[in-house]
Structure 1
Amino acid sequence: MNRYVKDKVVFWLFLAPALLSFLLVVIIPFFMGLYYSFTDWTAVAGMKANFVGIKNYTSMFSDFAFRYSFIRTFLFTLLSVISINMVSLTLAFLVTREIKFKNFYRAGFFIPNLIGGLVLGYIWQFIFKSVVPAIGALLGIDFIEQLLILAEPNLTLFGLIFAFTWQYAGYIMMIYIAALLNVPQELLEASEIDGANFWQKLINITVPMIAQAFTITSFLTLVNSFKQYDIIIALTNGGPSDIYMDKIVNSTELLAVHIYNVAFKYNNMAEGQARAIVFFVVLSFISIGQVYYNKKREVEM
């Protein structure tokens, strides 16, 4: 056996466990789910799944709750992507300056990302329900004391965005820090000599130089915002209820929560699977489009 063949055998031997795991855990279940989405599968032992065609897909788009969850998911994702990236970039600028304890600040900002979503949701539930009214009472401000963030539908959505930003901004900050540290200081110093202020340096030098980081962070925040589930379950469990177009809806039942409820709460496994397939297709289309657009912008910059 020559060296080339030996290296190939070793390569595939080391790669085989990961490929096998990916095949068994991702690829095969995906195609099984695709098949079940065209049946009346209930996951009940002994009951045969019957082929029903596109019935699950047609009923999905006629379901008002599904359409509403789509709208709320897009709104949550848009606001979360903007919020997380703005906060992360601001923190990255802060901890890359020559300030005392900057490494301490980096660690402090990153720590919330290590907290699980369920735990984080219960933490913020306690803060919104107990701490915020207590602060309002202490300061004698009736508006803050009577502020029920988790009881008003629109405020609840912003509360979710706030909690998600608090958790995820530290992780995205680390990506921006790596990008900012790679910006040549010579360019910034030369621009200062030419009289450029902070905003001119930011727009004309820093932003184009960290364009690749924007592509990565936008993709990560977009995908994770779309898939958000655990924080919602712990913080609001899909509530509170609201009236939208004369129908009762759950104001924070985003797509991931909606799909789970359809499949497991209402035991419509096949219909839930069909909605998950549509969710996958939409998320793939949007994320690939976002990466393509950002890569194109990188070249233009």
Structure 2
Amino acid sequence: MRKKTNVELKSKRKTRIKKILVYATFVGPALLFFLTIQIVPFIMGIYYSFTSWNGVSSVVEWVGLDNYIKIFTDDSKFFHSFLFTTKFMFASVLISNIIGLGLALLLNMALKTKNILRTVFFIPNVIGGLLLGFIWQFIFIKGFASIGDLTGLSFFNQPWLGDEVTAFWGIVIVFAWQISGYMMIIYIAALQGLDKNVLDAARIDGASSFGMLTRIIIPLILPAFTICFFLTISMAFKIFDLNISLTGGGPFNSTESVAINIYQEAFQNNRYGLGSAKSILFFIVVAIFTTVQVMVTKKKEVEA
């Protein structure tokens, strides 16, 4: 009995080691890259936020909370960029999700060209932000001006990237155009997972299309809203490449996002410590926004 028990223990031990090796083989490289690219730089960023390092010198001077005090007492430009980014986030999240849901509802119907249209609407999401920004810069400056000259419509003759208000909405338009296709895919997946018997029963009971959408479809796909809101909020807050290629933060820094402000502080002004402090504060704010959003929408899911 003892020999049999020892053999069983050895066999279990070998099986456990094999499982650990399999997990290490598949998960290990991803975990290593995550630690190297995400966690280690994040910890280093926290450390540098308490220093006056310029990003180049080998001398790193510890200054404690001086960087954070400076941000709150003597950096109105940072708070202006934060205000712009917050306004941009609310506008772009609302518009992107409305367009994404609308496209999903449309392409969930029995259309012959729905697969082609899904690809067409998703393509902008795979184009890089820098390239997309330069393309739309040409459209706003040259394309809209030509359409305005041909049609005489004042809408197209506005200084789209030369005025604070129109530049703001120009960035929102491009961001929504880029990201709506991605949201559309998530909403389509949620719509295809609905129980058709429930929808058919609602139709038989005489429910209108609008009533079905607001009282049945939307409550049932609330998990998709949770995901889409989380993604769009985080993407909108972190906007950088699209912003810098489209307006460069202009005119007169009126469309400067927080990411651009941090980049300029750290790499153009050579104040890496102060830039790191701003990035840590930015991380905390984004984490609070996304956490509150997930908690609220998750609670709505349970209630639904």
Identify whether the pair has TM-score above 0.5, normalized to the shorter chain: yes
Asked if 1 retains the 8 angstrom alpha-carbon contact of 2:144 and 2:157, the reply is no
1:225-244 matches, cutoff 5 A: 225-241=236-252
1:264 counterpart (262, 267, 272):
267
Could you tell me how far 1:65 is from its partner in structure 2? 0.4
Asked if 2 retains the 8 angstrom alpha-carbon contact of 1:263 and 1:269, the reply is yes
Q: Which digits, 9 at most, give the CA deviation of each residue in 1:155-195, with x for residues without a partner?
A: 10100000001111001100000001111121111111111
- Other-structure match for 2:218: 207
Structure 2 counterpart of 1:182, one-letter code: G
Q: Tell me if the contact between 2:95 and 2:176 (Cα under 8 Å) persists in the aligned partners.
A: yes
CA drift of 1:2 comes to 2.5
What is the number of residues matched between the two proteins? 291
Match of 1:184 in 2: 195
Question: Residue type matched to 2:134 in 1?
Answer: Y
Alpha-carbon distance in 2 for matches of 1:99, 1:272: 51
Please give the alpha-carbon distance, in whole angstroms, between the structure 1 residues aligned to 2:155 and 2:301.
44
Deviations 1:243-291 (A, max 9, x none): xxxxxxx111010111101111111110000000001111111111111
Identity %: 44
How far, CA to CA, are the matches of 1:201 and 1:14 in structure 2? 44
| In structure 2, C-alpha distance between the alignment counterparts of 1:14 and 1:136, rounded to whole Å | 56
Match of 2:233 in 1: 222
Pick from 84, 87, 101: which aligns with 1:72?
Answer: 84
Indicate the larger mover: 287-296 or 82-91.
287-296
1:174 aligns with 2:185: yes
Tell me the residue number matched to 1:294: 297
**Which runs of no fewer than 5 residues in structure 1 stay unpaired?**
242-249
1:7 aligns with 2:19: yes
Alpha-carbon distance in structure 1 between the residues aligned to 2:298 and 2:152:
51
**Which whole-Å CA distance do the structure 1 matches of 2:124 and 2:162 have between them?**
25
1:162 is the counterpart of 2:165: no
1:253 aligns with one of 256, 263, 277 = 256
**Equivalences for 1:123-162 in 2 at 5 Å?**
123-141=135-153, 143-144=154-155, 146-162=157-173
Query: After the TM superposition, which of the residue ranges 23-32 and 78-87 deviates more from structure 2?
Result: 23-32
Q: Distance in 2 between the 1:252 and 1:175 partners?
A: 30
Residue 151 of structure 1: CA displacement? 0.7
Question: In structure 2, what is the Cα distance between the partners aligned to 1:195 and 1:110?
Answer: 35
Contact 2:55/2:266 (8 A) holds in 1: no
Tell me how far apart the structure 2 counterparts of residues 14 and 29 of structure 1 sit (CA, whole Å). 23
Contact 1:121/1:232, CA 8 A, preserved across alignment: yes
TM-score computed with the length of structure 1 as normaliser = 0.94
Query: Structure 2 length as normaliser, TM-score?
Result: 0.93
| CA–CA distance in structure 2, aligned partners of residues 16 and 100 of structure 1 | 45
SS across alignment from 1:2: helix
Specify which of 273, 288, 292 is matched with residue 285 of structure 1.
Answer: 288
- Cα offset for 1:5? 2.7
CA contact (8 A) 1:135 1:144 kept: no
Report the AA paired with residue 209 of structure 1: L
Q: CA, structure 1 residues 189+145, in 2 after alignment: closer, same or farther (shift >3 Å)?
A: closer
Alignment RMSD (CA, Å): 1.1
Candidates 118, 122, 125, aligned match of 2:130: 118
Alignment equivalent of 1:53, drawn from 60, 64, 82 = 64
Paired residues of 2:55 and 2:271 also in contact (CA < 8 A): no
TM-aligned CA deviation for residue 145 of structure 1? 5.1
CA distance, structure 2, for counterparts of residue 146 and residue 182 of structure 1: 45
Q: For residues 10 and 146 of structure 1, do their structure 2 counterparts lie closer, same or farther at Cα, with a shift above 3 Å needed?
A: closer
Q: State whether residues 117 and 230 of structure 1, in contact with CA within 8 Å, keep that contact through their aligned partners in structure 2.
A: yes
Which amino acid in the other structure matches residue 23 of structure 2?
F
Larger radius of gyration: 2
One-letter amino acid matched to 1:27: I
Rounded Cα–Cα distance in structure 2 between residues aligned with 1:140 and 1:10:
67
Letter in 2 for 1:112: P
